[in-house]
Amino acid sequence: MSLIVQKYGGTSVGSIERIQAVAARVAQSHKQGDQVVVAVSAMSGETNRLIGLAKEIEPQPAAREMDVLVSTGEQVTIALLCMALHKIGIDAKSYTGSQVRILTDNSHGKARIKEIDGHKMQDDLDAGRVVVVAGFQGSDENGNITTLGRGGSDTTAVALAAALNADECQIYTDVDGVYTTDPRVVSTAQRLEKITFEEMLEMASQGSKVLQIRSVEFAGKYKVPLRVKSSFEDGPGTLISLEEDDLMEKAVVSGIAFNRDEAKLTIRGIPDQPGVAYKVLGAISDANIEIDVIVQNVAKDNSATITFTVHRNDLSAAHKLLNQIAKDLGAIEVEADDAIAKVSIVGVGMRSHAGVAAKMFEVLAAENINIQLITTSEIKIAVVVEERYLELAVRALHTGFGLDAPD
């Protein structure tokens, strides 16, 4: 007998029919003898409907009352899912975040979970019940309702799994697992059986949006095995696990991630002296603009060049700031370019294999793709290329690292 936490998102519970399909899926696990805790989101569209009501009154409503309002969305789902489970003969009981209780800090709208009391849930499970918990919400020390922010239902599921020492946390979504790359770009992309938390983090932060980054971090921290599955079809999904076992049979590179939401800024000819990187990048950060890739080089004349990328939406603000900074520092010029894309190869296997970077550059060179920037981490190599080469680069790397599905 295993203890499984399952999470179903808004699309999976988007209608009465879909809620009934979720109930059938939960019943299947329950009948296999598993103890099942289910975390659910609001029915798709409901959260936006509630936010719409609030905005009719006030564009910036008080965060505390916003949480009282939107938390009703998941509360509706837990009740309906329990009814659907009862209907097919499964004993089930619902809990709001406050009822569990999921104790959070008091940052309304973006609260963090501090503690979960698993006793009531464990009692229900031991009595043969399915436990259905409202995702995305909790309450603070004073009993105020809080929400974890958008996508927080994944985090709820992982936190429940950690609190109950579950054997697995299954995230049901509209894809049937994590792929070697986006199948819309590379038709030969394959579902991964397994991926490590670190790889998943790199894949997610590089733009493969299957799971909320925060929930993956959380799962890694609390050592909760995570599995991504499809709400709509059967299948094993992808297991995100701690262990790097079976790695010998595994490819050196697990997946190709990419991101076309970034833009690149370069400031050239800065007199090189200690602190210039801080002067440049500190000012950008202070304006609440997130910076992704950063590369700095020093030219022969000892002047420095700093290149970095920001989200495309922030480009014009960052560009303006950078022009001012260039003036202050006596830099020679500033360049901005939004026709770029970032492509990354990710894999824990590259730790123990030399020459992975060289192989990557070789593959891109063979396609005549010029590399503008390179950054590396222990399990990732990312390059920035012209945006028009993005698909070509991804396909070439996918083939080059042996990730294509067999015919």
Q: Which residues bind its own copies (CB under 8 A)?
A: 16, 19-20, 50, 53-54, 56-58, 61-62, 64-66, 68-69, 71-72, 75-76, 78-80, 82-84, 86-87, 93-94, 96, 98-99, 143-145
Q: Minimum CB separation from its own copies for residue 69, in Å? A: 4
Q: Are 107 and 146 in contact (CB under 8 A)?
A: yes
- When the beta carbons of 57 and 354 are compared against its own copies, the nearer one is 57
- When the beta carbons of 66 and 161 are compared against its own copies, the nearer one is 66
Dihedral of CA atoms 273, 293, 111, 151 in degrees, nearest 10, equals 170
The whole-angstrom separation of Cα 146 and Cα 104 is 7
- When the beta carbons of 53 and 365 are compared against its own copies, the nearer one is 53
Q: Minimum CB separation from its own copies for residue 234, in Å? A: 23
In the numeric block, which tokens belong to residue 292? 């992704």
Alpha helices in 173-313 (DSSP H): 197-205, 213-221, 276-286
Q: Minimum CB separation from its own copies for residue 68, in Å? A: 4
The whole-angstrom separation of Cα 85 and Cα 79 is 10
- When the beta carbons of 51 and 336 are compared against its own copies, the nearer one is 51
Q: Minimum CB separation from its own copies for residue 57, in Å? A: 5
Q: Minimum CB separation from its own copies for residue 32, in Å? A: 24
- When the beta carbons of 53 and 332 are compared against its own copies, the nearer one is 53
In the numeric block, which tokens belong to residue 155? 């985090």
Residue 245 corresponds to which amino acid?
D
- When the beta carbons of 123 and 290 are compared against its own copies, the nearer one is 123
- When the beta carbons of 16 and 366 are compared against its own copies, the nearer one is 16
What DSSP state is assigned to residue 223? T
Q: Minimum CB separation from its own copies for residue 56, in Å? A: 4
Q: Minimum CB separation from its own copies for residue 72, in Å? A: 4
- When the beta carbons of 64 and 268 are compared against its own copies, the nearer one is 64
Q: Report the first-to-last Cα separation within the chain, whole angstroms.
A: 38
Q: Minimum CB separation from its own copies for residue 18, in Å? A: 12
SS3 for 82? helix
Q: Minimum CB separation from its own copies for residue 54, in Å? A: 6
Q: Are 38 and 95 in contact (CB under 8 A)?
A: no
Nearest to 216 by CA among 147, 158, 168, 148: 158
Strand 168-173 versus strand 226-230 pairing type: parallel
The whole-angstrom separation of Cα 340 and Cα 372 is 9
- When the beta carbons of 86 and 327 are compared against its own copies, the nearer one is 86
Bridge-partner residues for 94, per DSSP?
A: 132
In the numeric block, which tokens belong to residue 8? 């179903």
Q: Are 168 and 227 in contact (CB under 8 A)?
A: yes
Residues 6+ apart with CB under 8 A from 391: 185
Phi and psi at residue 119, to the nearest 5°? -65, -50
